[in-house]
Structure 1
Amino acid sequence: MRNETRRPIEIARKGERQPFKPKLWSHQQQLRELRGRKIVVLFRDGTQVTGELLEADQYALLLRIREDKSVLTLTLFKHDIQGYRPAE
């Protein structure tokens, strides 16, 4: 067996560089950015709930709601929600 010298690989371009494409908008990404902030959740029946967004996945939101001296943590399933927005 002889000692072979390996040369650095060369990468050939197949054409011009592609222009930068921004990431597609995703509500999942927006919810990740809102984590830890207050949001208003809008339900189909017109009810609005304001709370701190603790977690969000593809199926549910975990919200902490403070009322007077009590703290309530709720899991809200997305199929019940019409929309959400950051609280001001």
Structure 2
Amino acid sequence: MEALKQELKGKIIEVLNLEDIAVEEINDNDALFGDGLGLDSIDALELIVLLDKDYGIKLTDPKAGKTIFQSVETMATYITDNRTK
């Protein structure tokens, strides 16, 4: 799980072009949206594409994203439970 969290942090930085943030600066339980990393709805779409492309997870319920994308921790747990790749 730790390796997956580190991998996710790197992918989030890469996919969302967060050049000013290092992997070490993202805590597992930091909020991804709002006061945390400050991501927006466009970033959420990018994360949905990331889940599909890299882990074979298709999100069909947009409301589920709100729960899944709370933090790196919640994303890693969801991926572990649902990945097909």
TM-score normalized by the length of structure 1? 0.25
Structure showing the higher strand proportion among its residues:
1
Higher relative contact order at CA 8 Å, sep ≥6: structure 1 or structure 2? 2
TM-score normalized by the length of structure 2? 0.26
- Select the structure of larger CA radius of gyration: 1
